[in-house]
Amino acid sequence: MINQFEEKGKIFTPVISKQPIDVIIQTISHRILGKVHIRPSDRLIDELNKTEQFIAVTDARILTHENIIIYAAEFITVNSSQIIWILPLEELQQA
């Protein structure tokens, strides 16, 4: 990692660009529609396999099992241990 210092000692680090992926996340009690941000060179599974306990989700809508929206937020974090499955919307196929 490259760090740059200014004369007052402030540290600057490079910005890591990420791309949003539209996903459906099924937790134990709810379904979440939103965006998970991953590095362009990574896959969704790579983001999930990182050591962080929580995964960031933006433009989130939290639904009941009946698909009724009960909450909406620009940003939430989801405990990775509560995720049952996650599906990128681009891979969603109708049965």
Q: Is residue 5 part of a domain?
A: no
Q: Is residue 3 part of a domain?
A: no
CB 31 within 8 A of CB 23: no
Report the predicted TM-score, pTM, of the whole model to 2 decimal places: 0.78
The predicted structure's pLDDT at residue 31: 96
Low-confidence ranges of the chain (pLDDT < 70): 1-13, 51, 95
The predicted structure's pLDDT at residue 92: 77
CA nearest to 4, candidates 76, 15, 55: 15
Q: What total number of domains does the chain contain?
A: 1
Instruction: Give me the sign of the Cα torsion angle 91, 74, 69, 77.
Output: positive
Coil, helix or strand at residue 93:
coil
Full domain range(s) for residue 59: 15-91
Q: Is residue 8 part of a domain?
A: no
The predicted structure's pLDDT at residue 9: 64
For residue 20, give the CATH number of its domain: 2.30.30.100
| Residue 11 φ then ψ, to 5° | -100, 135
